[in-house]
Amino acid sequence: MEGLSKLCRDIRENYIPKKDKKPRVWSEDDVLNGKITKAFVVILKTKGCYWARHSGCTMCGYFKDSNPSITEKDIEEQLAYALSRYQGEKIVKIFTSGSFLDEREISPEMQEKIIKKFFEKAEKVSIETRPEFVPAIEKINANKKILEISIGLESANDNVLKYSINKGFTFAEWKKAAEKVLDAGMQLKTYLLIKPPFLTEKEAIEDAISSTKKIADICNTISFNPTAVHGYTLVEYLWKRNLYRPPWLWSVCSVLKKAREFFHGQIKCDIVAGGTKRGAHNCGKCDRIFLNAIKDYTIRNKNNAFEKLECECKEEWMDTLEMEGFLIG
């Protein structure tokens, strides 16, 4: 939808790209073969997501981690730096704030080199891409280890993808790419968004659950991403005008608990800015308890993590589910 695309572009018009060429790296808890282990996370600076340059998704502010002046030599230096910080974690997660498999960001030769280097010690390497670049996996040799391809579907509803997220592809296009990943013997992780703009709280919960049902028999992992308010995005534009609120943590827990009923793979939930006004939050008093429970549920596999969650703000959340649609009109 050109009107929505133009608005996304216009909002970013005054953003000045950073000149930093250093990658970000850290270690965090993750799960491999049902056991908690350490994962090494690398965010490489590349030229950035081509879709973001075209218009971008309504909620995505990760274009701010890109640098249009990055060269192949810069990528190689970033790899050397990342390898110098790598402590042999069994999982390596590589992000580019775009698509690892887009040769405009990382050349095919460099893609192969990066994966090969980390597979010298890692048991699993995870990379992100949009579905249109998935055919490039045919050139990648995983050396009989686990290569995970992560794709941001966000919603399995084409109307939400087009009119709410401005995703630039359809559910059918995602599914075709997903099947190609599985046919290649690789693992598939799919990101689903909790509460895209223009959906009520109740609609957002329903969309996340219905999307999970549609992809449950395809994915190895589903990662739920509650929308956060990033700078220079349409979501921030709406949020500043009191036209958008990030999801309640009550809603996030509701989605995660329901998803477990019909999806038996790994469930993840990384909450950016959780407990703040720009991220998924409740009333403030109970936010930390909820965030810890979500980590227990997704990382530590405690299925009873949500059972004793209580707070007086639950009534306000339930009122929101019941009345928000009427208030919006």
By DSSP bridging, strand 35-43 and strand 146-154 are unpaired
**Mean predicted confidence (pLDDT) in 291-306:** 96
* Residue whose C-alpha is closest to residue 250's, from 323, 309, 327: 309
Dist. CA 79–CA 185, nearest whole Å: 26
CB 140 within 8 A of CB 115: yes
- For residue 327, what pLDDT band results from cuts at 50, 70 and 90? low
**Mean predicted confidence (pLDDT) in 268-292:** 97
- For 161-180, the DSSP string reads IIIII--SS-HHHHHHHHHH
Looking at residue 328, what is its pLDDT? 59
* 185: alpha, beta or left? (left if phi > 0; alpha if psi -120 to 50): left
- For residue 249, what pLDDT band results from cuts at 50, 70 and 90? very high
Task: Provide the H-helix boundaries in the chain.
Answer: 2-11, 50-54, 72-85, 108-118, 158-159, 171-183, 201-215, 234-240, 249-259, 287-298, 314-328
Two tokens at 8?
């996304």
By DSSP bridging, strand 24-32 and strand 35-43 are antiparallel
Dist. CA 226–CA 273, nearest whole Å: 10
- Mean pLDDT score across all residues of the chain: 95
Looking at residue 329, what is its pLDDT? 47
pLDDT tens string 131-158: 999 999 998 887 789 999 999 999 999 9
What CATH code is carried by the domain that includes residue 150? 3.20.20.70
Two tokens at 49?
């997501």
Into how many domains does the chain fold?
1
Q: Which domain holds residue 237?
A: 2-328
- For residue 1, what pLDDT band results from cuts at 50, 70 and 90? low
**Mean predicted confidence (pLDDT) in 239-246:** 97
The helix/strand/coil state of 125 is strand
Dist. CA 274–CA 279, nearest whole Å: 5
pLDDT tens string 108-135: 999 999 999 999 999 999 999 999 999 9
Dist. CA 33–CA 31, nearest whole Å: 7
- The residue with tokens 């013997």 is 185
- For residue 294, what pLDDT band results from cuts at 50, 70 and 90? very high
